[in-house]
Structure 1
């Protein structure tokens, strides 16, 4: 960005547009759900950031939390690819100077498309350019589209652009396609659309310590009430523990053998001995081993866990090594 750019000292997150002070020189705004930050999202954000850098002004990404599909489908919310913090961090990593995760609630739903443009894009963000993905709709009743953005842009002094769909091997890159691949255990296909292996990040929380009693201590991540996009037993790599990703075997589900209820991601790191509580880690999914299932006894469960761990080691090329300690 040029020296004249009105860039914040550090990336800023905002939830309430009413508290946002407009950038003096305006901004380039990209809008989307950004769930997964896949290749299509990155093409959109990259275009907006490049335009902002060329103009010497801020790049702002606008998204919504909860996602609109979560809000309208509360009885059966769609699987989530990226949790809010990871989405914010990813957008910042792509070069966005400010990120808005606007509260998507009844009051926001009631906004007309025209009000969204005038209040959010013009009054508070000083938009000079607005970039959206193909087929983007917004406002009450989904009345807003690229045509409305262009008409209002002519009146308010901003340009509106819609990027072309991004294709991979003839398949359109979309969060829906990625969810389908993940649900089917097609991790390589999902990774191709994402542009990276699928991963879940979060802070390690305390569990019931049952894994430790069974000889398989785990680092546990909660899903913050979101529906997981995949489930079962997996070979994984865990980032954020050592200098290199650590091989592990993980389960993602409700643990029916031990009467679990809350969905939980549990990763057993091979040849590791340490306390990870409170640490932020990222679990990268490499291969799906099997479905989650209920066993009649804990002994039967341990036998299967031994087999899962051995298979995960082979897939990951993880020979036994001296234990890593922290």
Structure 2
């Protein structure tokens, strides 16, 4: 069983049974990874598939559509990372009004038991699910005793005395503390995707960019020193803008990476942009010459920061 599924309704997905972990998994930080790896290990021990269940959009996004919370990771990267962690199948269940109305009890019976033949289900600390957040570890354990499965809750994961959470990582990213955010994530914070065509304004200003769409509310906004992965064997130094581009009246968040001393066509390529340091907030300039002058200053500062980081790494 290796698939991506989106619905509670449908046929049986795991006739031989499964081990399931449930969560939002935004960012897939060290706490999430501990949950997923535990579920995968239990699935291997039982000889059944490991399934990760999440929701798309995130429930908090659905209930706060006018002011959605910042998102760390897009769905495509979440699925790829879960699979890389050993998950056999991923359920990104459509979270809409119908899903929001499903009781926790019905979710357990229809999704976990009927479709997935769950033998064990694992959740993170204080995780709730179902209509009015009526499902928790106590309900899972009670229903498991009745329906023949085991339910468990992993312990909170801490690093240097601090509990790891997506909320804390978002706070660190906003504050520009990428080193601490990377510690909690277990890897540098990066955003990946396929390069799309933009308005090509940067090219006319002498700063061609590789553009990635981010159709959610991002946790970041501003100008950054960055590394671009996926173009060459080694990460490539760059300066990136992430936001809505107020000077040119942008709307949807766009990540624009200018690769230093690079000439080539990256359209359609999958790249990752790793964030190293924030240079400044987005700013609306009076005209394009003023914007161009600031872009030169940003590029100079980003080169310096990245050169310093590279020197420290090789020292």
Report the equivalent of 2:213. Answer: 222
1:164 matched to 2:164:
no
Report the equivalent of 2:49. Answer: 58
Give the drift of 1:293.
1.0
Cα deviation per residue 1:150-186 (whole Å; 9 max; x = unaligned)? 0000011110000111111221100110111111111
Report the equivalent of 1:200. Answer: 191
* Of 133, 140, 148, the match for 1:149: 140
Report the equivalent of 1:296. Answer: 286
SS of the aligned residue for 1:85 comes to helix
Q: Is the 1:14–1:20 contact (alpha carbons within 8 Å) kept by the matching residues of 2?
A: no
Report the equivalent of 2:275. Answer: 285
1:1-326 equivalences under 5 Å are: 8=1, 11-224=2-215, 226-317=216-307
Q: Is the 1:35–1:82 contact (alpha carbons within 8 Å) kept by the matching residues of 2?
A: yes
d(CA) in 2 for partners of 1:136 and 1:262?
A: 31
Cα deviation per residue 1:236-255 (whole Å; 9 max; x = unaligned)? 11111112211110001121
d(CA) in 2 for partners of 1:21 and 1:84?
A: 24
4+ runs deviating over 6 angstroms: none
Cα deviation per residue 1:74-100 (whole Å; 9 max; x = unaligned)? 010000001000000010000000000
Cα deviation per residue 1:36-71 (whole Å; 9 max; x = unaligned)? 000000000010000011111100000000000000
TM-score by length of 2: 0.95
Task: Give the gaps of 5 or more residues in structure 2.
Answer: 309-315
Quick check: 300-309 or 255-264, which moved more? Answer: 255-264
Q: Is the 2:228–2:273 contact (alpha carbons within 8 Å) kept by the matching residues of 1?
A: yes
Cα deviation per residue 1:131-165 (whole Å; 9 max; x = unaligned)? 00000111111111100000000011110000111
Quick check: 296-305 or 84-93, which moved more? Answer: 296-305
Give the drift of 1:277.
1.2
Cα deviation per residue 1:205-256 (whole Å; 9 max; x = unaligned)? 11111100000000111112x0010111101111111122111100011212
Quick check: 60-69 or 200-209, which moved more? Answer: 200-209
Q: How many residue pairs align between the two structures? A: 309
d(CA) in 2 for partners of 1:214 and 1:265?
A: 17
- Give me the CA root mean square deviation: 1.3
Give the drift of 1:278.
1.5
Quick check: 183-192 or 86-95, which moved more? Answer: 183-192
Relative distance call for 1:20 and 1:231 in structure 2 (3 A) is farther
Q: Is the 2:15–2:116 contact (alpha carbons within 8 Å) kept by the matching residues of 1?
A: no
d(CA) in 2 for partners of 1:113 and 1:272?
A: 53
d(CA) in 1 for partners of 2:11 and 2:75?
A: 19
Give the drift of 1:20.
4.6
